[in-house]
Amino acid sequence: MKNKIVRTLSIQKYGMFSTFFMALGLLLFAADAQSQALYKIIPGSQIKVSGTSNLHDWNMIASTFSFEGNFKVKDGELLDISSLSFSLPVTNLKSKEDLLNTRAYKALKAAEFSKITFKLKDATVMPQQKLRATGSLTIGGVTNEVVIMTSYAINSDETITCKGSKAIKMSDHKIKAPSFMMGALKTGNDVTIDILLKLKK
């Protein structure tokens, strides 16, 4: 009888501990989930693509594109990014010159591959409000793994601002640099992508 009572008490004690740790785990999970949130771009975000030619520099700007990412922010500090994706319709890139737009869209194979995309593989939050993002960049149907370095700021209104720049070669994505005026004006192979993201959950 005594052994039966002891076994009963042990089972009850085990059940109490199990319930306690389960409740604690749920609380910790809930707290972690609350610190993670899905952020999307808001007006003021911009992608700028710049390059050179044998006559003058050029650039194309897009202010309409899609971006979303799961950011873990706690007490005004960025702790982690668990996912991130970006999609830019090629024809949303615009310069002041219609001919440049037309030739650029053709070079980027916009009719066949209508979007430039980036999908995060890994992100590292670094000191001095820096981010290192490794992911797959797809341009003209060709995907390459790239590393993009950005700075970030957590603003008082809980928005996040990210700024970064990435130099790439058009040939890495099998893109032939556009030329104009029967080859008299030739663009360079090197381009720079400047990123300005304003994000809100």
Asked if residue 17 is part of any domain, the answer here is no
Residue 80, pLDDT > 70, answer yes
Asked if residue 27 is part of any domain, the answer here is no
The verdict on pTM exceeding 0.85 is no
For residue 57, give the CATH number of its domain. Answer: 2.40.128.110
Q: What percent of the chain has pLDDT over 70?
A: 80
> pLDDT at position 21, please?
43
CA angle 96, 65, 157 (to 5 degrees): 110
Q: What is the largest CA-CA distance in the chain?
A: 102
Predicted confidence band of residue 18 (pLDDT cuts 50, 70, 90): low
Domains contained in the chain, number? 1
- Stretch 156-171: mean pLDDT, rounded? 95
> pLDDT at position 135, please?
98
Q: What is the pLDDT of residues 27-79, one digit of tens each?
A: 444 444 456 899 999 999 999 999 998 878 899 999 999 999 999 999 889 99
Please state, in angstroms and rounded to a whole number, the distance separating the CA atoms of residues 13 and 171: 68
Closest CA to 37 of 87, 85, 77, 82: 82
> Average pLDDT of the chain?
85
Q: 74: part of which helix (H) or strand (E)? A: strand 66-74
| Domain housing 107 | 36-200
Asked if residue 161 is part of any domain, the answer here is yes
